[in-house]
Copies of this chain bind each other. A is one copy, B any other.
Amino acid sequence: MKANRMEAFSDGVLAIIITIMVLEFKVPEGHDWHALIDLGPKVLSYLFSFVYVGIYWSNHHHLLHMIRTMNGRLMWLNLILLFWLSLIPFTTGWMGDSDFAPAPMALYGIILLLSAISYRGLQLAILNQYPDDSAIFKSMGKDWKVRISPFLYLIAILTAYVSPWVSGFFYVLVALIWVVPEKRIEHFLRGK
C-alpha cells in the first residue's frame, strides 16, 4: 500500500516537472511570427526534456511495481531521484536561452547523469529484495540501457565543449535507445 502512495506522489511531481517547463515560454513582446524566432531553441530544449521526463515516468512506473516491501531507504532513494529530475526545468531553460552554449549543455548532461545514477541506485535497492538466482534479478541486473546511459551522458557532457551538434547527437542517441523498442534496436544493429 505504501508503494502505491510513493507512486502517486512521484506521478504528481513528474507531472508538475513536465508541465512547469512551459512557464519558460514567456509571451513575446511582438505580435507577429518574427517574435517567435527566439523561441526555437527553447521549444527544442523543451521537446527534449519532455521526452526524457516521459521516459523516466514510464520506467519509474515499471520499477516501482517490482517493490516487494517498502521501507525508508527506498523512499529516500526515490526522493533523491526526484530531486535531480526536478532540476531539469531549470537546466532546460538555461540550455534553450543560451542557444545551446557549452556550459548549459554540459550542465544538462550532468543533471541527467545524476538522475541516471540515482535511478540505478533505486533499481539495485529494489533488486536486492529478490534472490540472486531469480529471473528478474538476472534480467534487470544486466539492464544494458541503464548501464550504458551514464557513459553516453559523460561523452555528451565532454563534447559540449567541442560542438553542440556532437553533444546533442549523444543526447538524442540516449533518448532513442530508451524510446525505440528493444527488438527494433537489435534488428537495426544486426544490419537490418
A contacts, CB < 8 Å to B: 2, 5, 7-9, 11-20, 22-25, 27-28, 31-33, 35-36, 47, 50-51, 54, 57-58, 61, 72, 75-76, 79, 82-83, 86-87, 89-90, 93-94, 97-99, 101-104, 107, 179, 181
Contact = CB atoms under 8 A, between A and B. Distances in A.
A7 to B, nearest CB: 7
Contacts of A19: 13, 16-17, 20, 86
A2 B101 CA distance: 39
How many copies of the chain does the oligomer comprise? 4
B50 A90 contact: no
A101 B35 CA distance: 12
A16 B20 contact: yes
Nearest to A62: B2
Please report whether the interface of chain A is mostly helix, strand, loop or mixed according to DSSP: helix
B31 A103 contact: yes
A79 B94 contact: no
Nearest to A2: B61
Contacts of A22: 20, 86-87, 89-90
Given A31-B104, A179-B76, A47 B83 contact: yes
Nearest to A28: B94
A8 B25 CA distance: 26
